[in-house]
Structure 1
Amino acid sequence: MRTEDAAALVPAAFTEFVGRWSAEEGNVGGPSGAQWAADLPRLLAGVLDDWELTPTGPGRTGYSALVLPVERADGRAALKLAWPHLEARDEPLALRHWDGKAAVQLIAADPSRSVLLLEALDSSRDLTTVDIDTACAVIGGLLAQLHVDAPPGLRSVPEYVERVLTRMDALAGALPRRMTDRATGLLRDLTASGAKPRLLHTDLHFENVLASRSGTDRPPWLAIDPHAMAGHPGFEVQPLLRNRRDELGTGSAMRRGARRRLAICCEAAGIDEDEALGWTYLHTMMQAIWGAEGGDQGEVSFNIALLKALDD
């Protein structure tokens, strides 16, 4: 395929969005978002030729990846090209480890180009299309299968959380002191057990679960787009609380809704609810820190309200 033909497959809005990311934010020694986006048409054309793929429709985009439906000699597939960054680095490792169990099947990978070839799923159906209780139960059931022994080389959740929490002191006044103090104590208590780390998805929200295609023998729902890490399964629940947030309400309704989502997911996943509550508090504090650092007061306010809802 010619580079100019491949360029027509890349949405301009995606190119503009990815262009905001600096090389330092990628944290893997790769190009900036702008550099990668500028080279994306040439990269896409080369991969389509190398892997003998034919585009069959418009692509879908996330924060940092383009996913294109393609046809190959033995059927349909999905081609994913991601800006090289730390969260995407271990996706092929996790997908190989799961080997299609509860997650999208990895067909081929070229980590040097941050390119994956995946089984084709039904991109029109995710868990935003079902009621919230069912969606939380589905995700819990997937997590029960995904939480296998972590392979070596993954980032550590406790170390990751600790690095983020060390930035709380620089945000004095933006975050309530009693909440930052509680987060510090929780991290100390939760990491004292020395539990064996499990392979975590860490971003399994409602849009990161897609339906399998009709007519296949695959499970009805499959996880996609892991930000793989090693740690305690309780860290996984928080994405269920920060997505579909308009359904949580405020005040006492938020507390009931957040606790219900957590309870349903934990029961289905076999995760200790008290431990999940602690890890979810830490995960929410991280979201509040990032919001404060980015000057997003709406995000800070939401996460402080969620921290209150998670408080005993």
Structure 2
Amino acid sequence: MAFEPPRRLVKALGETAPGGDDWLERLPEAARQAVALRESTVERVQVPGGRSSLVVLVRLPDDTPAVLKLAPPRARPESERAALAHWDGRGAVRLLDAAGPEGVLLLERLHPDVSVRSLPEAKSMLEAAGALRRLWVEPPAGQVFETVAERTGRQSEAMRAGADAEAAPLVDAALAVRAELLVSPPETRLLHGTFRQSKVLAGERSPWLAVGPDPVVGECAFDLARLVRDRVEDLIATSSGAATTRRRVKRLAESLEVDQERLRGWTLFRAVESGVRARRVGRAQDAELLLEFASWL
């Protein structure tokens, strides 16, 4: 079978590494080797798939349905492996082999085409928040994950370098609120890192399970902040978008017992960071939506 990377993956990796590397060129052979190592039968490549990995639906020799996920080093797959091993299926997809080849994860099969985003908006938020809560556990002893301070520090440098005159006031506000939030974080937990509705898939052993973490260690409000702006295009399209956003911050903060102002602050930072990054790689429409959303906060 030909393991051609989906167009979405090719485009996304081109944005994150415009200088290019040879991972995409090596991917078809790496996928063949991963399949052969497990003596698996390939069903199909998941399309459109993710933005940072190739997902191959397979069956193991005993006919167990599974997923092979191949990701480049810049997507930090070994960090994902460590987090999934620590969660051990609690709230997240189960890792079927903790010691696979570097950059190749063998995962339990969920329902890849059914995410919590398919539910009505209010129900999807409720289910997504419930899934996220289960992931917030003490980090494993001796395991080094990137911290919120480290990740947002890298992002802050890129924001300063990439901000144009229009975005500059929002960037200044985002950087100021980050500095305040890092002074005294209320807790330290293992976080999903890139959580949103599309990262929660239907499963057999649990109705909804999280997938695709980019784990980080820090306060829970940072993790929840990305969920606040889910379906941002719908929010922007309504005249009540700003008011709805503020209500969403309040409801999510109360339901998951995080400080409302800290959630608002991290939501602002993450929206501005994403907006500036989108503009930098030429996704002008996404940038406009994200920066308008940030202005409501």
TM-score range, shorter chain: 0.7 to 0.9
Q: Cα gap change, 1:153/1:309 in structure 2, threshold over 3 Å: closer, same or farther?
A: same
Q: Cα gap change, 1:82/1:100 in structure 2, threshold over 3 Å: closer, same or farther?
A: same
Query: 2:52 maps to which residue?
Result: 64
SS at match of 2:126: helix
Partner Cα distance (1:167, 1:64) in 2: 20
Query: 1:204 maps to which residue?
Result: 195
Partner Cα distance (2:214, 2:201) in 1: 16
The aligned amino acid for 2:85 is: R
CA shift for structure 1 position 41: 2.0
CA contact (8 A) 2:77 2:104 kept: no
CA contact (8 A) 1:109 1:115 kept: no
Structure 1: runs of 5+ lacking an equivalent = 26-31
CA contact (8 A) 2:250 2:260 kept: yes
The aligned amino acid for 1:105 is: R
Partner Cα distance (1:106, 1:268) in 2: 29
Query: 1:187 maps to which residue?
Result: 178
The match for 2:259 among 248, 269, 272 is: 272
Q: Cα gap change, 1:195/1:47 in structure 2, threshold over 3 Å: closer, same or farther?
A: same
Structure 2: runs of 5+ lacking an equivalent = none
CA shift for structure 1 position 240: 2.5
The match for 2:89 among 100, 105, 118 is: 100
Q: Cα gap change, 1:296/1:46 in structure 2, threshold over 3 Å: closer, same or farther?
A: closer
Partner Cα distance (2:98, 2:242) in 1: 42
CA contact (8 A) 1:144 1:270 kept: no
Output one character per residue of 1:119-157: Cα deviation in whole Å (capped at 9) or x when no partner.
Answer: 111112112210111111112111211111123311111
Partner Cα distance (2:228, 2:121) in 1: 11
Query: 1:154 maps to which residue?
Result: 145
CA shift for structure 1 position 45: 1.6
Q: Percent identity?
A: 28
CA shift for structure 1 position 242: 4.1
SS at match of 1:56: strand
Partner Cα distance (2:35, 2:65) in 1: 13
The aligned amino acid for 2:61 is: A
Residues matched between the structures, number:
292
Aligned: 1:122 with 2:111? yes
CA contact (8 A) 1:292 1:300 kept: yes
Q: Please give the residue correspondences for 1:124-273 in structure 2 after superposition, counting only pairs within 5 Å.
A: 124-151=113-140, 152-170=143-161, 171-177=163-169, 179-213=170-204, 218-250=205-237, 253-273=240-260
Q: Cα gap change, 1:14/1:42 in structure 2, threshold over 3 Å: closer, same or farther?
A: farther
**TM-score where L is the length of structure 2:** 0.87
SS at match of 2:133: helix
Partner Cα distance (1:163, 1:40) in 2: 28
Partner Cα distance (1:181, 1:147) in 2: 30
Partner Cα distance (1:80, 1:10) in 2: 14
CA shift for structure 1 position 188: 2.2
Q: Cα gap change, 1:173/1:235 in structure 2, threshold over 3 Å: closer, same or farther?
A: same
Q: Please give the residue correspondences for 1:273-312 in structure 2 after superposition, counting only pairs within 5 Å.
A: 273-310=260-297
CA shift for structure 1 position 73: 3.2
Q: Cα gap change, 1:23/1:293 in structure 2, threshold over 3 Å: closer, same or farther?
A: closer
Output one character per residue of 1:15-67: Cα deviation in whole Å (capped at 9) or x when no partner.
Answer: 74366367688xxxxxx55x222222221121112112111234342112111
Partner Cα distance (1:117, 1:195) in 2: 35
Output one character per residue of 1:92-128: Cα deviation in whole Å (capped at 9) or x when no partner.
Answer: 0110111100100000145653001111111121122
The aligned amino acid for 1:181 is: D
**TM-score where L is the length of structure 1:** 0.83
Partner Cα distance (2:206, 2:176) in 1: 40
Aligned: 1:13 with 2:7? yes
CA contact (8 A) 1:101 1:146 kept: yes
Partner Cα distance (1:181, 1:45) in 2: 47
CA contact (8 A) 2:93 2:211 kept: yes
Q: Once structures 1 and 2 are overlaid, which stretch shifts more, 246-255 or 134-143?
A: 246-255
TM-align CA RMSD? 2.5
CA contact (8 A) 1:69 1:76 kept: yes
